[in-house]
Structure 1
Amino acid sequence: MAEAHQAVAFQFTITPEGIDLQLSYQALNQIYLSGLRSWKKRVSRMRNSVIKGVYPASPSSWLFVVIATLVTMYMHSDPSMGLIAKIQQHLPLRYTDKHTHFFRDQKFVLPSLVSLVFSTLLWLSLILALRFCLKLLLSYHQWMFERHGQISNTTKVWVTLVRLFSSRKPLLYSYQTSLPHLPVPAIKDTLSRYLESVRPLLSDVEFKQMTELASQFESTLGNRLQRYLKLKALWATNYVSDWWEEYVYLRSRSPIMVNSNYYGMDFLYVTPTPLQAARAGNTITALLLYRRKVNREELKPSRVPGTVIPLCAAQCERMFNTTRTPGAETDVLQHWQDSEFVAVYHNGRYFRLWVYCAGRLLSPREIEYQIQRILDDSSPPQPGEEKLGALTAGDRIPWSQMRKQYFTSGVNKRSLDVIEKAAFFVTLDDEEQGMRGEDPVKNLDCYAKSLLHGKCYDRWFDKSFSIVIYKNGKNGLNAEHSWADAPTVAHLWEYTLATDAFQLGYTEDGHCKGQVDRSLPHPQRLVWDIPSEVQAQVQRSLAVAQALADDVDCHVFPFRDFGKGRIKKLRISPDAFIQISLQLAYYRDRGGFCLTYEASMTRLFREGRTETVRSCSNESCDFVKCCMSEEQCRRLFQLASEKHQNLYRLAMTGAGIDRHLFCLYVVSKYLGVESSFLKQVLSEPWRLSTSQTPVQQMELFDLKNHPDFISLGGGFGPVADDGYGVSYIIVGEDMINFHVSSKYSCSETDSHRFGAQIIKAIQDIMTLLSVDSKTSSSSKSTAQPETKKLL
């Protein structure tokens, strides 16, 4: 009851003597402190808006321009070349008031004010000019296509200029207005690259038919659609991203669990504490510290690794306080400016956990204390509450109907608002996960499946991301895909793991550090009134989700024989090495080649998201066939590697294939015209869908002194019913972690079998390249022909 009284700012009672008013000064003080925090955030946002609005200049540069203008004027020189005089002539100073005459006749005040106006206009013009120059510099991408150690003079000058224009310390969003827009490729180039990409997958007859379809499309409908697309590119910030978000993600009516959402894992070998509440305390604190950095724009802008080239940071804007709400035809992403609480699920109950008190962020120990209160709460779930989250795991239309009919008023709306407006969602899982026990391989697979779908009702899959804290202290996350791509979430998760383990830390007995205010109000149980109709739909959604989850075959394994260190010694791109290995593994597993998807980012451009690298190329297929027939193939591997790198560069620089064709298809639908070519292209299945989880902040992890603190990365479900999903993360110099997924319902796929093929392919290619490298060196020294070595 004490906590309840503290939450009320004032009370009054009516007595025979009048009204007895009682004020709670403690509550009023908390209201004041909370409001103060809110105003500080507003002032901070206004300050940041000014700083990033004038970047690459600085606000103080305005004063320099004003002073320089005044000094030159009073040295009897006109820096404006007559503009100041013209501005003075057009000032409205024709008044009869004696004060106005006095003001107008002054020989010092009036010219100074005119100079101030001119200086401000000059300053704004200089900012626009600097920003335009920076955008031109960032539009130059030829540097990506130059060989290592063979940098042209043009690129050297370009690097110097970019460094000069970026010399000021930027905020997170400082580069946004200077990033170039994504260009629309020439339709002829896109079709040519497309035909080249499908050549190894089609017979001669099929390829001839596809070539005729492409030629017919280009000469008839293609150019018409291209004109509309170019018009959109002139008007929109990014001609792809809004349609990609809308039609690929938000308009999908199938479950987002497994099909869209993806997961991230904890450290592989280390669990910082075995206490569930303590791990939750530090994890929640680290996430909120990251949110504070995002809000204050204190994060350094992401850059292309090893360069000064910035990447678009727009995806960070909807990281927190965001949810995906279902609709009949399309879902909607809702984002709130701020939230002072998180939503917590435990043992079938939902709670609101306030993470701020009197305007301050709770300490990790206090959050642990509050989490422990939830864990110790033995109250049973309300009718229909336990499996309510299954609505977010099933089909979208039934969830939309239930939400519209039963969650738009009363206690259900208030409770749903808490979940949707929360900073993020937290699940306190009653299971133990991780690489442990007598069968670590199987346990890792179970860990992946748990993060991907859980029990199908103990996650809130609509939230931008949900954190899962297991009973043994292991953690992980499940992320919704529409608002951002994996690198953005990976950056957040890297910071969270590093801050948890190395910055916040734990006491010797495994608890969080810090003091506890035991007068904190208890976490608030959410109240529901779930009618039988909703409970029936929950069961139907759960059945759909459970069938989907049971069909997923996950296999996670670390590859420790070697890593990027040994690969780079051969002067080969680690990503190209892995992608070609995947082609070899798939060929051995299925006896053929398939359309292969590798995600590449386009964040060199404003609001850029992803592009497809079609990793199955003529060159990679030639190499694989060479390996299968046991012939000499080092040269073919080099060609395949260079081809893959070139495809990746083209995708990054806006010259990809699939997003362009996708947008042309959308335009055709708006115009109500059909294209046999586009219909066939977009219906082709991606039987091998791959993605690399980038390691972006290695400075946060001291792997020399703490070699066990390495992350497993994350993974996703299979894209095609008869295909594989493969995610991998290159950790340090000597390790690569793989996540393979497929479906049990397909008799031709097996995640464990494919994992074994990946390992064998990587080992075989490394053996081939290492032996050939030694043989090549030996042959050069003896001047003898190179000896052929068999795979």
Structure 2
Amino acid sequence: MAEAHQAVAFQFTVTPEGIDLQLSHQALTEIYLSGLRSWKKKLIRLKNGVITGVYPASPSSWLFVVIAILATMYMRSDPSMGLIAKIQEHLPVSQSLSAQCQTVVSAVLFSTLLWFSLIFTMRMCLKQLLSYHRWMFEQRGKMSNTTKVWALVRIFSGRQPLLYSYQGSLPNQPVPAVKDTVKRYLESVRPLTTPDEFERMASLATQFESSLGNRLQWYLKLKALWASNYVSDWWEEYIYLRGRSPIMVNSNYYGMDFLYVTPTPIQAARAGNTLHAFLMYRRKLNREELKPSRVPGTVIPLCAAQCERMFNTTRTPGEETGKHTCRWFLMSSVPCYTVQHWQDSDYVAVYHRGRYFRLRMYSSSRPLSPREIESQLQRILDDPSPPSPGEEKLGALTAGDRIPWAKARKEYFSLGVNKRSLDCIEKAAFFVTLDDDEQGMMGEDPAASLDRYAKSLLHGKCYDRWFDKSFSVVIYKNGKIGLNAEHSWADAPVVAHLWEYVLATDSFQLGYNEEGHCKGEVDASLPRPQRLSWDITPECQEQISQSLAVAQALADDVDFHVFSFRDFGKGMIKKCRISPDAYIQLALQLAYYRDRGMFCLTYEASMTRLFREGRTETVRSCSNESCAFIKALEGGEGVEVCRRLLRQASEKHQNLYKHAMTGAGIDRHLFCLYVVSKYLGVDSPFLKEVLSEPWHLSTSQTPVQQVELFDMVNHPEYVSCGGGFGPVADDGYGVSYTIMGENMMNFHISCKHSCSQTSSHKYGGQIRQALRDMLQLLCPDQREPSRTDQSQTKKDL
């Protein structure tokens, strides 16, 4: 109750003598400082809005234009060609303004209009330059004249941009022609179908293209003219928010700590630095001080819209409704889910041993120091109080099926103390779990420990994460950390940028003292973290148990294998004059063919952030060229033939990736055409069959070194193992990989125990062998792998 008293700013009592008014000085001070902090943020947003609004010019350039116009007029020259005189004629007549003053006012107005016109022209020029993507398809040293002109993008890009400076200049994502998409689709399925199956699909595609396709395309083009991005809102709604299955394992993904280094073994200390680093990043994000992300090696900016909902965001299940025009799920009722974002939050929600706490991260309008956060978290760790009935496993509601969670939220958490506590979690900056387990690469079997680490981050105990939050930070007992992220609000590269910043800031900027504690002093007057209260009925506890049973069955079925490949890395692959990403994709397909004896529809995620509000596109990595290479290699063809086919497959993959990045992909266009067909109430056998095809191999590369806060060459031990996700298909694999520096690659492989045809360890062994075999094919003079690596591969196989 002490926290409740501190929250009251004033109390009054009516007595026979009058009203006895008691003011809380501390509470009023906190209210004042909170309001002051809020107004500071509003002013910063206003200032940044002005700077971003006039970009690529600057506000000070207005003064330069005004002075230039006035200077030319002083030289008795009229740069406006009579427009200043016209403006002067229409100025209101005023006795207080002389003729000279009226001329100056007219010149200032003309200068302002000229300034806005120049800004508009520069922005349009920049938008046109950013719409040109042919430079990606040209070989080095063979630049066309058009691309040489396009290089002027550097001139129009401006200087010192803020995070959102380019948003108004980014082009809209184009809608590909139906015939081009259908052609690319048929090409992608050719190696995966029999001649009869291909003829049937070709017939359906031709029928669709000549009839319904043009009608659906018209609506899609109309949307593209009106919306910022014709894909992203539908993608978020129908792929993420309207799903009914658990988001744990099926949607959320995770990120790991440093592989070889643990900066401190003290749990509260590691949490103190980590949480403070998150606050530092949020401060930079709110002030737009983060540099815009760019295509590596270029000045081409990437869309930053996904950053807006990084903090203070949660995914909330909604009430079912039977009235909805979209028939996406072909059901009588459709649940409405939303992603809710609040402008600010000065606290985080913390979970420890079945209890939930509210931890304020600011004191007197300043952020808590790492040492103060450590002290506050240690108070939570030392708190002996038991969880209230039903509280310990409450988070399982966010891990189970979505509809039961939506119903439980409405029935049991819409009023009273439960609503207040749930609001506290959902409005928190982010969620923190103080885990009692120890994780990381450790013990006598480091490989197995990494597998356990991955599973812990992906699902934990199924109730000790809040899977609806934009991200949950996990702090383990031995000082290791990790992150679990919800997928609907943003994709992995955005979260990876945040995670890299936090890891680097923790170790290289904040640091620890000799005892392993955070640096700094502690304000002894800080109020204790507030314990959240719950009143969970037996009926609600029964629903929690049911959700936990669903989630536990899903978690137990996940088969995970994480390993680092250190025989060689992208440095050696580049020496063989081949794309590292294409090399890995071909190795994954070769490994799958050896594992299953067949080819499969392969998904590789590609970004479309070259466009405004762009998210992802699918690269259909399994191509005619990749299958030809694998068949030749496995069929015992000559080295020269296999080498030539490998290079052709690599070039094809790069071409597919570039098409996906530049808006000429296949799957998002077909997806949107399908959504339009459902809104119109028409069926397309072609679209229905396309969207029902399973992705037996789902892959993604996690970008690294986006922040560049430290030199990985000089600090090779500070490498992260990256992150991963669960399997997409029940009988398939999910593979996430990171290319760390020049000599290391990390792989995260997931599948399901319930499928007898898949094994993450066996597939991992096939990947290792495929990587080595391909290098031996390209560079036969390379050294043999170490005995340890060979024995590990044989063990997995």
**TM-score category of the 2 structures, normalised to the smaller one:** over 0.9
Q: What does 1:609-758 correspond to in 2, within 5 Å?
A: 609-632=615-638, 633-697=642-706, 699-758=708-767
Equivalent residues of 2:730, 2:751 under 8 A apart: yes
- Report SS of the residue matched to 1:727: strand
Q: Deviations over 1:108-146 (max 9, x none)?
A: 122222222222111111111110000001011011001
Q: CA deviation at 1:4?
A: 6.8
- Report SS of the residue matched to 2:708: helix
Q: What does 1:506-521 correspond to in 2, within 5 Å?
A: 506-521=512-527
Q: CA RMSD in A?
A: 1.6
Equivalent residues of 1:634, 1:772 under 8 A apart: no
Match of 2:479 in 1: 473
Q: Deviations over 1:672-706 (max 9, x none)?
A: 00000000000000000000001133622332332
Give the letter for the 1:103 counterpart. Answer: S
Q: CA deviation at 1:33?
A: 2.7
Match of 1:136 in 2: 128
Match of 1:158 in 2: 150
Match of 2:42 in 1: 42
- Report SS of the residue matched to 1:103: coil
- Which residue of the other structure, out of 248, 255, 267, is the alignment partner of 2:246? 255
Q: What does 1:109-508 correspond to in 2, within 5 Å?
A: 109-159=101-151, 161-327=152-318, 328=320, 329-508=335-514
- Report SS of the residue matched to 2:433: strand
Q: Deviations over 1:502-543 (max 9, x none)?
A: 111111111111110121101001011111221111111111
Equivalent residues of 2:346, 2:362 under 8 A apart: yes
Equivalent residues of 2:570, 2:744 under 8 A apart: yes
Give the letter for the 1:222 counterpart. Answer: G
Equivalent residues of 1:390, 1:542 under 8 A apart: yes
Equivalent residues of 1:727, 1:740 under 8 A apart: yes
Equivalent residues of 2:697, 2:733 under 8 A apart: yes
Give the letter for the 2:65 counterpart. Answer: V
Measure, in 2, the Cα distance between the counterparts of 1:3 and 1:16.
Answer: 31
Give the letter for the 1:309 counterpart. Answer: I
- Report SS of the residue matched to 2:99: coil
Measure, in 2, the Cα distance between the counterparts of 1:767 and 1:686.
Answer: 30
Give the letter for the 2:142 counterpart. Answer: Q
CA 1:690/1:50 → structure 2, altered by over 3 Å: closer, same or farther? same
Give the letter for the 1:419 counterpart. Answer: I
Q: Deviations over 1:452-482 (max 9, x none)?
A: 0011111000000000001111110000000
Q: Deviations over 1:539-570 (max 9, x none)?
A: 11111111110100010000010000000111
Q: Deviations over 1:272-315 (max 9, x none)?
A: 11111111111111111111111000000000001100000000
TM-score between both structures, scaled by the size of structure 1: 0.95
Give the letter for the 1:720 counterpart. Answer: A
Match of 1:786 in 2: none
Q: CA deviation at 1:87?
A: 2.5
Measure, in 2, the Cα distance between the counterparts of 1:27 and 1:662.
Answer: 53
Give the letter for the 1:482 counterpart. Answer: S
Match of 1:83 in 2: 83
Measure, in 1, the Cα distance between the counterparts of 2:410 and 2:12.
Answer: 39
Equivalent residues of 1:143, 1:155 under 8 A apart: yes
Measure, in 2, the Cα distance between the counterparts of 1:4 and 1:461.
Answer: 28
CA 1:332/1:514 → structure 2, altered by over 3 Å: closer, same or farther? same
Measure, in 1, the Cα distance between the counterparts of 2:282 and 2:760.
Answer: 36
- Report SS of the residue matched to 1:79: coil
CA 1:5/1:417 → structure 2, altered by over 3 Å: closer, same or farther? closer
Measure, in 2, the Cα distance between the counterparts of 1:82 and 1:607.
Answer: 43
- Report SS of the residue matched to 1:571: coil
Between stretches 509-518 and 600-609, larger displacement belongs to 509-518
Equivalent residues of 2:236, 2:488 under 8 A apart: yes
Q: What does 1:22-101 correspond to in 2, within 5 Å?
A: 22-93=22-93, 100=94
Equivalent residues of 1:729, 1:738 under 8 A apart: yes
Q: CA deviation at 1:73?
A: 2.7
Equivalent residues of 1:35, 1:359 under 8 A apart: no
Equivalent residues of 1:701, 1:709 under 8 A apart: no
Q: Deviations over 1:8-53 (max 9, x none)?
A: 5445566776555554444433333332222211111110000000
Match of 1:766 in 2: 775
- Report SS of the residue matched to 1:84: helix
Equivalent residues of 2:501, 2:707 under 8 A apart: no
- Report SS of the residue matched to 1:337: coil
Could you tell me which runs of 5 or more consecutive residues in structure 1 were left unpaired when the two chains were aligned.
94-99, 775-791
- Report SS of the residue matched to 1:449: helix
Between stretches 399-408 and 464-473, larger displacement belongs to 399-408
Give the letter for the 1:529 counterpart. Answer: D
- Report SS of the residue matched to 1:771: coil
Equivalent residues of 1:263, 1:476 under 8 A apart: yes
Measure, in 2, the Cα distance between the counterparts of 1:15 and 1:519.
Answer: 34
Equivalent residues of 2:569, 2:743 under 8 A apart: yes
Match of 2:96 in 1: 103
Match of 2:331 in 1: none
Give the letter for the 1:232 counterpart. Answer: K
Measure, in 1, the Cα distance between the counterparts of 2:470 and 2:7.
Answer: 30
Measure, in 2, the Cα distance between the counterparts of 1:27 and 1:540.
Answer: 42
Measure, in 1, the Cα distance between the counterparts of 2:346 and 2:591.
Answer: 49
Give the letter for the 2:31 counterpart. Answer: I
Between stretches 116-125 and 394-403, larger displacement belongs to 116-125
- Report SS of the residue matched to 1:135: helix
Equivalent residues of 2:12, 2:19 under 8 A apart: yes
- Report SS of the residue matched to 2:779: helix
Q: CA deviation at 1:92?
A: 4.1
Could you tell me which runs of 5 or more consecutive residues in structure 2 were left unpaired when the two chains were aligned.
321-334, 784-797
Measure, in 2, the Cα distance between the counterparts of 1:532 and 1:5.
Answer: 30
Equivalent residues of 2:776, 2:782 under 8 A apart: no
Measure, in 2, the Cα distance between the counterparts of 1:369 and 1:15.
Answer: 43
Match of 2:539 in 1: 533
Give the letter for the 1:748 counterpart. Answer: Q
Give the letter for the 1:67 counterpart. Answer: I
Measure, in 2, the Cα distance between the counterparts of 1:2 and 1:246.
Answer: 43
Measure, in 2, the Cα distance between the counterparts of 1:298 and 1:192.
Answer: 44
Measure, in 1, the Cα distance between the counterparts of 2:479 and 2:511.
Answer: 14
Match of 2:329 in 1: none
Measure, in 1, the Cα distance between the counterparts of 2:338 and 2:765.
Answer: 41
- Which residue of the other structure, out of 548, 554, 560, is the alignment partner of 2:560? 554
CA 1:554/1:214 → structure 2, altered by over 3 Å: closer, same or farther? same
Q: CA deviation at 1:733?
A: 0.5
Give the letter for the 2:72 counterpart. Answer: T
- Report SS of the residue matched to 1:611: strand
Give the letter for the 2:131 counterpart. Answer: S
Give the letter for the 2:175 counterpart. Answer: V
Give the letter for the 1:671 counterpart. Answer: L
